[in-house]
Chains A and B, each alone.
Chain A
């Protein structure tokens, strides 16, 4: 077995703890032995279908044991997995599957029809596998050699400011390294039971699975927070020790009646990422889960995680996202590439083996994002985010240098929503902006002006967005204007619109 690959983690945990529960998905529980066997079966199947080393196989699934099996089976077959959001609509799926030239798609019944329609006119896509159906018999495929830690492990798409998603490319080595770094600072171990309500299609959810398998722990998979009673029940029934969330998750949990009075003696770690929590929300979370430590973290898809705030600092510096994760470094530079002094604002730079290789088939954007370092082969990731640090070296997020909105922990490109609205007859002008929102991190607001006599209203425009965009991209509000304000040079005045959209801060929750 070659070390340093995702599959090596699974094989090691299956050998060390075969009877330990790896995955809980509703009534289904898989031990490490069972997970390993099911991964083996699906990997054989994939090889039989002709999936070879280096191929890309997309996973379009809701959180489930099957989705976890798919992710590891693709790796065992030597291919790279491409996790895609299960609510992505046809045109987006077509674009992404075509862009990464996926040879196969693994999906569940709920999205099969969408994937099937899309697959009909994609030449590179040979097979669509539905996981909740019995696997058809195929001839044994040939082994294409052991997967190395420098082989392609995954392509993870993230919203780009041009409106077209970019595929961040990771080797096994990168993913294995960052999983180990996060495991180290969180202190995760084999007796942990992690409750994952975050989608496995997003890095934050995906890495819960990867870290679970790494340490031989248990992951309990849920489909989001729509029925929070299920989540509360799972916290107690499964004696959950680790709960990762984004601001929306904490908002729902702290608003529940009775949760703060529950004795959850096993819950020891809470992690927040996706967007910062306000100091008052941190207090709400502590009140609801008084026995658990809260880690505030910051990252981006291109390197998974950049920094974390040790929990003993959260009272002292509630708005800091801490220090670089173990084995990496992060610093702040001015426009001329010089490191800035404490208190000054500049762009955050990141260096370490967690940094992606680049964007799939996009050398130009890659060159803008990754710059040469101090010696041949040394690479530095430009985060594109503005930061400052304090005298003790703790980092503070200040703002973005692009117009990407972070809502519900997901990145949203305004251009992608604007394009969808512009495609509608009667829509004259559109500007999409993010405004701070306690529940969502940022809320997506679409400002629209309409052609005279057009019958659209805010509801019909939101509905149109819901039909063409992933759920998290649908604007929370559509504001219809007679005309959008313009700057002196005639462009839509986004800054003014953003200022106008900011609602007064909501009163503290009672």
Chain B
């Protein structure tokens, strides 16, 4: 966390975006080798996840960033794209 303190907000967001994109690419996108994940891709439309896959993603985000995701927050607004997840995590992450 100390390192984050010295980073600018923009750099932190970039790092978050890279981490989340990498996690999704490594764990889910290998089923779609033709597709390069973009931060604003609609994750539902890409059909990368089934309900259990999504729960795995949520669990990973909770563990990695030390945040709690409430039931009703698992929706398109917060988890519909990599950018949405980045905004959600950035707003919640303890600093």
Contact = CB atoms under 8 A, between A and B. Distances in A.
B68 interface: yes
B71 A258 contact: yes
A471 B55 CA distance: 17
Interface string A220-256: 0000111111101100000000000000110110011
B78 to A, nearest CB: 8
29 contacts: A224-B51, A225-B51, A226-B44, A227-B44, A227-B54, A227-B79, A228-B51, A228-B55, A229-B71, A229-B74, A229-B75, A230-B75, A230-B76, A232-B71, A232-B72, A233-B72, A249-B51, A252-B51, A256-B74, A257-B68, A257-B71, A259-B71, A262-B71, A439-B52, A462-B31, A463-B31, A466-B31, A471-B47, A471-B50
Nearest to B68: A257
Contact of A227 (B30, B70, B74): B74
Nearest to A440: B52
A442 to B, nearest CB: 14
B66 to A, nearest CB: 14
A233 B51 contact: no
B57 to A, nearest CB: 11
Highest count of chain A CB atoms <10 Å: which of B30, B52, B75, B76: B52
Given A229-B72, A463-B30, 18 more contacts: A224-B50, A226-B49, A226-B51, A226-B54, A227-B74, A227-B79, A229-B75, A229-B79, A230-B76, A232-B72, A248-B51, A248-B52, A251-B55, A252-B51, A256-B70, A257-B69, A462-B31, A463-B33
Contacts of B19: none
A252 B56 CA distance: 10
B73 interface: yes
Given A462-B31, A463-B33, A255 B70 contact: no
Given A255-B55, A459-B30, A463-B31, A228 B50 contact: no
Contacts of A228: 51, 54-55, 71, 74
Nearest to B70: A258
Contact of B75 (A227, A257, A262, A440): A227
Contacts of B47: 471
Given A255-B55, A459-B30, A462-B31, A226 B50 contact: yes
Contacts, number: 65
Interface string B56-92: 0000000000001111111110110000000000000
Highest count of chain B CB atoms <10 Å: which of A228, A230, A249: A228
Interface of A: 224-230, 232-233, 248-249, 251-252, 255-259, 262, 439-440, 459, 462-463, 466, 471
A338 B49 CA distance: 48
A64 to B, nearest CB: 15
Contacts of B33: 463
Nearest to A255: B55
A255 B74 CA distance: 12
Highest count of chain A CB atoms <10 Å: which of B32, B47, B74: B74
Contacts of B71: 228-229, 232, 256-259, 262
A329 B74 CA distance: 44
A226 B49 CA distance: 7
B25 to A, nearest CB: 12
Nearest to A459: B30
Nearest to A471: B50
Nearest to B62: A257
B24 to A, nearest CB: 14
A264 to B, nearest CB: 11
Highest count of chain B CB atoms <10 Å: which of A229, A232, A462: A229
A444 to B, nearest CB: 13
Top 9 A-B pairs, shortest CB-CB distance: A225-B51, A229-B75, A256-B71, A229-B74, A258-B70, A259-B71, A258-B71, A232-B71, A466-B31
A253 to B, nearest CB: 8
Contacts of A439: 52
Nearest to A439: B52
A479 B31 CA distance: 17
Nearest to B49: A226
Contact of A233 (B32, B50, B75): B75
Contacts of B78: 229
Contacts of A262: 71
B81 to A, nearest CB: 12
Highest count of chain B CB atoms <10 Å: which of A226, A233, A439: A226
A225 B71 CA distance: 12
B75 A252 contact: no
Contacts of A256: 70-71, 74
B72 A252 contact: no
B17 to A, nearest CB: 21
A123 B69 CA distance: 52
B43 to A, nearest CB: 9
Contacts of B70: 256-258
A163 to B, nearest CB: 23
Contacts of A225: 51
A225 B50 CA distance: 8
A190 to B, nearest CB: 29
